[in-house]
Amino acid sequence: MTELPARRLLLVHAHPDDESINNGVTMARYAAEGAHVTLVTCTLGERGEVIPPGLAHLTGAALGEHRLRELTAAMRSLGVEDFRLLGGAGRFCDSGMMGLPDNDDPGCLWQADVDRAAALLVEVIREVRPQVLVTYDPDGGYGHPDHIQAHRIAMRAAELAAEAGCPIAKVYWNRVPRSVAEEAFARLDEDLPGLPFAKAAGIEDVPGVVDGERITAEIRGDGTAHADAKAAAMRAHATQITVAEPYFALSNDLAQPVFTTEYYELVRGERGFEGGRESDLFAGIGEAS
């Protein structure tokens, strides 16, 4: 068995594109530094809305296959080699937006038994033995059923893995400080006339916005390299994202900022030091962990 690098990071996301929007800089930075970065995506996003008219014919399984190719290209941009679908491609399908009949599909992630799905994630944890886990908050950032379920699965898997002798030292949730979001949207309002987007989104459209005192870590890229990698990864998800740096839009065509510093809240484990925000998710973790 090949020996794993000393630092190992696991990220759990709901659909292809979520990882690049939320954690692109973080993934690019740690991959470039030689850490083992593992991404587990829970669905292929088969019910996502497609932006380019030339790809509008893609639906269901065909869209899922296309989004997997987009994910592959995005991971190439970020330098991440270890990316997987929870339980294999097609094990869980996209649940659609909250409140739609799609939520009742017995094969969708929203209907999955959390313990059984978590057991699949534990298999990955036992293999790569991550010291750090990154996922969503209990609301999934903004209330999407697949994001909520990904949170539940990730947190339950961390519990089960600890019981099985594979504890994860630190668990973080994706966050954005409210003050940072407010400043970014103020700039967006000024820049909007020159952008290819008709309107701006609102702060309420940004997942995981909280007051600044809840933020325990902020991850910055190395110069522009990791920010550029994040933008390239987001562009790879062309069915879902239109990028006009330093902004982007989803299928609603509402502009929002691309955050090139990424923020986290430590919810399990110990901070690497007292006072201030960590600049390294592995702070305080010994190499023997």
Separation of alpha carbons 266 and 235, rounded Å: 29
- Residue of 132, 162, 177 whose CA lies nearest to 37: 132
Q: Would you say 144 is a known binding-site residue?
A: no
Sheet architecture: strand order including 199-200: 199-200, 254-257, 247-249, 242-244
Q: 112 with 94: CB under 8 angstroms?
A: no
Q: Would you say 18 is a known binding-site residue?
A: yes
Q: Following DSSP, what letter does each residue of 145-197 receive, concatenated?
A: HHHHHHHHHHHHHHHHHHHTT---SEEEEEEEEHHHHHHHHHHHHHHGGGSS-
Residue in the block written with tokens 């298999």: 123
Q: 201 with 176: CB under 8 angstroms?
A: no
Q: Would you say 57 is a known binding-site residue?
A: no
Separation of alpha carbons 90 and 87, rounded Å: 8
Q: 254 with 201: CB under 8 angstroms?
A: yes
- Residue 83's DSSP bridge partners are 39
CA–chain centroid gap for 137, Å, is: 11
- Phi first, then psi, for residue 36 (nearest 5°) are -85, 110
Separation of alpha carbons 42 and 145, rounded Å: 12
Binding site for Zn(2+), by residue number, is 15, 18, 147
Binding site, by residue number, is 15, 18, 147
